[in-house]
Structures are given as structure tokens and as C-alpha cells.
Chains A and B, each alone.
Chain A
Amino acid sequence: MSNVFRALADPTRRQVLALLRARPMSAGELAEQFDVSKPTMSAHFSVLREAGLIDASRNGKSIIYSLRMSVLEEALMGLAQTVGLDLGAVATGKEESS
């Protein structure tokens, strides 16, 4: 669960998830929406994949990402966005206590 908190703590990753709500998108399409380098975007994608929030499948040369969020995870993301809940601190706290 701390993987999910860590993934949802970052605003860029939350924005990626918000974009994927509309439809599955390729890595290139997603990267175009952000002003960050490709390696940084790849790192964000891998954090989201590790947390099980997105799925990746290869289509020719491109990788298509699709959303795999449970209702609870989506509600958590909504909460983090609206009230500015610091999920990163929750994740770190969990790791420290375990």
C-alpha cells in the first residue's frame, strides 16, 4: 500500500493518471503533456506500474499505458488533489515504522 501512497504523492504522476482516465495513451502522447525529460517521465511511469496503478502493453514501437485504479485508489487520489493530503509523508511514515 505504501507503493500506492508514494505513487499518488507526486502531482505529475497524479496528472498522468488523470489523463489516462479518458483513454489509454502511448508513452509519447503522455510525455508531450509535460515539460519534463523523457527519463524523468519513464521513472514516473515505472513508479505507477510498480504500484499497480497503470498497465503497459507494447503496440508496435510504442508502449500504451492504461489505467488500473481501484475505486479506493481513485478516491484517495481525489482526496490528495482536493485537500492537498500529503500521501508522501504517509508512505514514508509507513516505511519508517515497518
Chain B
Amino acid sequence: MTRGRYALGTAIIAVALVEALAIALFLLVPEKREYWLIAGLAMPTLWAAAELLNRNRESLRFAVAYAAIMLAVAEALAIARATGLIAADDESLSLRWLGIFCGLVIVFYGNFIPKKAACVDPASPDAGRRQALQRHSGWAFVLAGLANTLIWALAPIKQAALWSMVPLAAALALVAMWVVVSRSTKGNRI
């Protein structure tokens, strides 16, 4: 299967999941029907609009799949609350699972950063620096994602949202610093 087809298939499955869960919630939680209606309609509408406006459809479809999976997790947690699998008043548990999921997504994306082909000629003098930047960025985001996941899993829920931002902010700051250092090095522009 080509990467383009894989992206399309993943996006279709993820959006279909969002729609199925939105319909289930529409029936299970009638007092919040407008939310589930919006959730159900927004995803395919935004995707269609983005397809028309964006030329890089492969990246777009992966982004759609990611957004749809996030929404599907939130919907699944709402269903779990509505059906009594999670205590109805325990919003913190849903929030915790959502935080853990976001952390794992960051780990997943970070893992593949060094694998992405750099838009630079491997024979150019910049190639080594660019490759190092990609490797370091990947490691920074994987470690930040793992830390984020652990914080959401273990920290008190009131502090988890704030604390989980610290490793991500640190990773972003490190990557920004590496970019600046690489740019400032004489004759080597990233």
C-alpha cells in the first residue's frame, strides 16, 4: 500500500469512527444533541474544505486522521460516562485519558521526525546539520511526549494540565535553540 493510500484509508476510518460515535451519542445523550450534531458534521465538512484548499493532501489526511482520533477518544469517553462505565460526575478521568492519549500521539509523531526525508541535497555541506537537527528534535519530542503521558497518568488532576505543558515547552525551546544555533553558525543555514 502506498503512503498516499494509507493516509486516505486512515483518515476515512478515523472520520467514520467519529461519525458512528456521534450518532451513538446523539441517541444516548439527548440533552446535548447539538454538541454531537456539530461534532458529527464538523469533521467531514472541514475535511472537504481543506481538501479543496490544500495541495499537500497526504499530510492533510494524516492531520485529519489525527484530529478525528482525538475527537473519537473524547466521544468514546462521553459514551463511557453516559453508559455508566465511568462515573457520570467524574470528568477528571475523561480528561486524564485524553491527556494520556495526546502524550502518546506526541511520542508517535516525534518518533518519525528523524525518518522524514529532509528537503536538502545529502551532498550539500548543510546536510549533516539538518540531519542532526531532525534527530535531536525527534528525541526531544519523544521524551517530552513520554513525560507528558506520565504526568497525565500519575500527577494530581488539578495540576496535570499545567505540569504536562512543561516538558512540551522545554522540547519546543530546545528545538528553537538548535535551529538558532545552526543558523548562526557561519556558512551553515538550516
Contact = CB atoms under 8 A, between A and B. Distances in A.
A21 B135 contact: yes
A69 interface: yes
Contacts of B142: 71
Contacts of A59: 121-123
B138 A71 contact: yes
A71 B128 contact: no
A77 interface: no
B131 A55 contact: no
Dominant SS at the B interface?
helix
Given A22-B128, A66-B131, A67-B131, A74 B123 contact: no
Interface in A30-87: 52, 55, 57, 59, 64-72, 74
Contact of B122 (A22, A52, A57, A71): A57
Given A23-B131, A24-B128, A24-B131, A74 B122 contact: no
B35 interface: no
Given A55-B122, A59-B123, A74 B114 contact: yes
Contacts, number: 51
A63 B131 CA distance: 17
Contacts of A71: 110-111, 113-114, 138-139, 142
B6 interface: no
Interface residues of B, number: 18
A24 B128 CA distance: 6
A70 B115 contact: yes
Contacts of B115: 52, 68-70
Given A66-B122, A70-B138, A74-B135, A23 B127 contact: yes
A24 B122 CA distance: 6
B128 A23 contact: yes
Interface string B74-118: 000000000000000000000000000000000000111111011
A35 B112 CA distance: 33
A48 B49 CA distance: 41
Contact of B112 (A23, A24, A66, A70): A70
Nearest to B143: A71
Residue in B112, B115, B139, B142 whose Cβ sees the most chain A Cβ within 10 Å:
B115
Contact of A67 (B111, B114, B121, B139): B114
24 contacts: A23-B128, A24-B122, A24-B128, A24-B131, A52-B115, A57-B121, A59-B121, A59-B123, A64-B122, A65-B122, A66-B131, A67-B131, A68-B115, A69-B114, A69-B115, A69-B135, A70-B112, A70-B114, A71-B111, A71-B113, A72-B111, A74-B114, A74-B135, A74-B139
